[in-house]
Amino acid sequence: MPEGHTIHRLARDMSELQGQKLRASSPQGRFIDGAAAVDATVLERAEAYGKHLLLRLSSGDYVHVHLGMQGKWFRSTDPTAPPLPQVRLRMATDSVAWDLVAPSKCELLDPPRVAALLSRLGPDPLRPDANLREALQAWSRAAGAIGAVLLDQAVVAGIGNVFRSEALHAVGIAPRRRAGALTERELLALWRVLQQMMSQAVEDGRIVTVDGPDRLNLPETEARKVYKQERCRDCGAPVVTDQVGGRTAYHCPVEQPS
């Protein structure tokens, strides 16, 4: 599943549509009424909250998209080319078309329903308006292992399995440690690392946590320090895998002692 950086980058790229009148359609037919409501409106703002994309329209309504496991947006600079039949939503101008395929959610929301959606999400480290106090308090109050808490979008939004493994490794915290037992200093370090790591991933368009001049040319299998690694790329210790929060967590037993 795409993590928050993917959605933030999408929102940034889709902001090319801001201020433009949209032509909208649902070639697949599963968003016909929604597309009709989008058609001929102007996109006022494309924004990401965690893994959710919100497109604010001049009508006052929003298009809410969650990509889920399979969803993808395709951009084409030839809006006259016919869309694939499986496109749920096409939004086009005279110069560009954005096609949405296989989202887990694509719906039209009015402002109260957007507010309800956002109230179910914790602070997003990628948003400049994220409330740091709120995030640290939510973590310290959360029951269970920090590795599980990090995946809970209601506590902090946008983190998936790669960021949780790599961020916990960067701050030397084992995924099984109880969130409530971490010190304020550790929680603050975790938040800062997530902000830094996720912002870098927005810029890079992918998650690369190893350093070096050639980092962006590394294949996916070599781009992380512990996630899906056999050995920790910092110290060479064999990486430990463990089910935490229903997903496989990866950690270095030397740098992240339990």
Question: Taking CB under 5 A as the rule, does residue 255 contact Zn ion?
Answer: yes
Q: Is 128 in the active site?
A: no
List 30, 79, 247, 253, catalytic entry: 247
- 204 or 234, CB closer to Zn ion? 234
Do the Cβ atoms of 75 and 96 come closer than 8 Å?
Answer: yes
- 42 or 254, CB closer to Zn ion? 254
Helices and strands, counts by H and E, the chain: 7, 10
Q: Is 51 in the active site?
A: yes
Please report how the helices 4-14 and 184-204 are oriented relative to each other, as an axis angle in degrees rounded to 10.
Answer: 50
- 99 or 255, CB closer to Zn ion? 255
Minimum distance from CB of 193 to Zn ion (Å)? 15
Residue 57, CA distances (Å) to 15, 43, 61, 167, 236 in order: 12, 5, 6, 35, 51
List 51, 90, 164, 233, catalytic entry: 51
CB atoms within 10 A of CB 178: 12
Round to whole Å and give the CA distance between 225 and 258: 18
Whose structure tokens read 């604010």?
56
Give the footprint of Zn ion on residues 230-249 (CB under 5 A). Answer: 232, 234-235, 237
Minimum distance from CB of 254 to Zn ion (Å)? 5
- 187 or 252, CB closer to Zn ion? 252
- 152 or 186, CB closer to Zn ion? 186
Minimum distance from CB of 63 to Zn ion (Å)? 43
Task: For residue 231, give the 3-state DSSP assignment.
Answer: strand
Minimum distance from CB of 146 to Zn ion (Å)? 18
Minimum distance from CB of 238 to Zn ion (Å)? 9
**Strands (DSSP E) along the chain, which ranges?**
23-25, 43-49, 52-57, 62-66, 72-76, 87-92, 97-101, 105-109, 240-244, 247-251
Round to whole Å and give the CA distance between 143 and 23: 47
Give the footprint of Zn ion on residues 195-234 (CB under 5 A). Answer: 232, 234
Q: Is 247 in the active site?
A: yes
Question: Taking CB under 5 A as the rule, does residue 100 contact Zn ion?
Answer: no
Judged by CB under 5 A, how many residues of this single chain contact Zn ion?
A: 7
User: Residue numbers of the site for Zn ion (CB under 5 A)?
Assistant: 232, 234-235, 237, 252, 254-255
Name the residues annotated as catalytic.
2-3, 51, 247
